[in-house]
Structure 1
Amino acid sequence: MSLVNTPTSFGSLSRSLHWLTALLILTAIPLGLIANSLPADASTIASKTLLFSLHKTLGVVAFFLGLARILAALLQPHPLPLHPKAKIANALAALVHWMLYISLVAVPLTGWIHHAALSGFAPILWPFGQDLPFVAKSQITADLFAAAHWLFTKLLVASVLLHIAGALKHHLIDRDDTLRRMTRGLKAPLQASAKAANLVPMLCALAIYAAAAALVFQMQDKAPPAATAAPPQTASQALGGNWQVSQGSLGFDVKQMGAEIAGSFASWSAEISFDETTTSGPAGEVLVTIDIGSLTLGAVTDQAKSADFFDVASYKTAQFKAQILAEAGSYQAVGILTIRGIARPLTLPFSLSLTGDTAQMQAAVSLDRRDFGIGAGFADESTVGFPVAVKIALTAERS
């Protein structure tokens, strides 16, 4: 049996790639549909995440397999058609084949880019990381390629159904050897009038995908702009503090299913009263109010705002009120952190750099989400990690 195609038969390479592709498609699509249908609550989140991870992992395999199939299609001859006079049918069959080839690359690639543009949910099950070169973390990029993935998936499903319908028609109605050529490598008689397919079906398939991509871009351009989170607010002037925050960031990292997700709050206020001349003991006070609704947490932002976690509908803000203590050039804020209406003591060590009337502060602290009832129903740390690594950086000006 030949490894490569001949004018009368499919080689074992083409047949193996064909059936492996079929297995991947018929597994990955149901996994995605089932995962989408599951609610993101404590009882199903582990199953939902695992199914999505399997779906994404099979998608990456399908992407590389698709590249291999296209390369094989271009480098080896395609067996000549059994019915050379059926020119329209042969052209349509070739078009469907090229639609499948392109789908095998375009569908998983758009899904992969969507995954890489966000942080977190449902990691790809491989050791090579979750990011892609030249794909920055961006909600706009994620939304664009999510829309493309959705539309391209429909083209893939349509192509698969047409391909199956054609195979069944040949086998059950025409009763020819088309299907047997792929299942058993059966050789068909060589017909002198038969001709190999030209490039027109491939170009038509590319044109269909180009039109679909243009439609996605057009739809995204016409979509209303996503609401942007308010910039960090400082309440220093209104509340009487003597330092006003000019810029800063409030972020955190948490693990979900073993993958690290980066989150941040875009809107928060800080009232700071601080005397830099104090070298030991109380040096000031700080009151930080965080707008929980400004939270972003990669692909699981909506889930994080739900009643299972931060419960934004019931608790719109969090607050940290503390006394600033100085000791031999080091500083810490010692006070109470309140999240979801639950108050817990917190000591926050921080570094401080003063240059004239400008202060730069950095801090990091680890919290346990369970202390604040966040994700109380998610008792398995392998699903949602218990530690939350908080990172704070700000620049303040003396007012």
Structure 2
Amino acid sequence: MTLRITGYRTLTTVQEWGRPVGDANGVFADGITSVPIVMVDTDEGITGVGLGPHLDIDAIFDAIEGEDPRAVTALYDRMLRQTFKAGHAGRVFGTIGALDSALWDIKAQAAGQPLWRLLGGRDRTVAAYASGLDIGLTDEQLVAVYREYAEHGLQAAKLKGGLDVERDKHRLGLVRQVLAEPGHVRRPGLMLDANECWNRKQAVRYIGEIEQALDLIWVEEPVRRWDADGLATVSRGVRAAVATGENLTGLEQYRPLVAAGAVDIVQTAAVWGVTHFLRVAALAHAYDLPVSPIGTTPMALLHAATSVPNHLTSELQDLRPPFGVSVDLEVEDGVFVLGESPGLGVTVDEHAIAASTQRSNTAAADTPNVRPEHAGRRLLAAADGARGTVMPRLPAVR
């Protein structure tokens, strides 16, 4: 079969959470977040889907137009070279990742196989943990959200925190109780994600206080993502593992962290693509480090996770896919169960998405996408003054 890339389409849908979602940097109060999509077409009528940004896609697509999409790893490097002068960090790396995932989707469809099987996976189940993006929830909402996760067999949970140590201990305790309810796991796993809101000594003190009351599997992004010395300081100063990597773009950004002993759990974001994940996983495996994908709808990386020896667990955020998107995937007994559909098993209803009027204001100053002015420079890691003046207090502990 001759197979050539002929064009692409972009669209943006939304994830409708039905509740506030966010982290220490801000909250989407309306519970609506954007989900950009890239669709790549071929001359044989096979279309691949990639969930991720499409910034500068015209220039990047020039590197792959007219090529055989089955040469996906070589095309990935062509896309990286296409951004040589300006660099490929940030959303540009996301565009490359979205196109890369779409090409893997095409390759697996052309082979008539689900991607997990094409990549050499033996088992289509992938371990999962619950992640509610939950810092803006009341106690009652928090319990309800994690009870739903527990009903799907989830045995570990990652909470957002970092602004109020007493409240974080309280909320972690609530979720532990929910996951340990009769019929669920006896000893749930707990993680805390600070989203880079501390300095290094503050992180050690804060986590140390939590660890007097609770056992944490890992603490995620306790300091800035690129701070190898700071992350290593935290890792040495606490019992929990340090997890980071979801915002790193390219192997060159991981090397200093690995060399400094600054990362215990190596993460990659779903939007950075399959090839990036496979290369990061190989790097981590060389140092006996586990990998863990991050993302709202991490379909492509779930497929890839079945084929690497050091996958630990993958993040499960919303139990429902984005609006207008369907996935051949179930969550049962605490694991993702991938289907047998050829490719990624992702179907996009372009007409429904085009007709929808739902939009998310991702650039608003009080959302997680904008770093607060005094993040990492607060005398106390507390809600007051989180954005330079006064941040509204989270719901009181009762």
Structure (1/2) with the larger helix percentage: 1
TM over 0.5: no
* TM-score (normalised: structure 2): 0.23
Q: Which has the larger radius of gyration?
A: 1
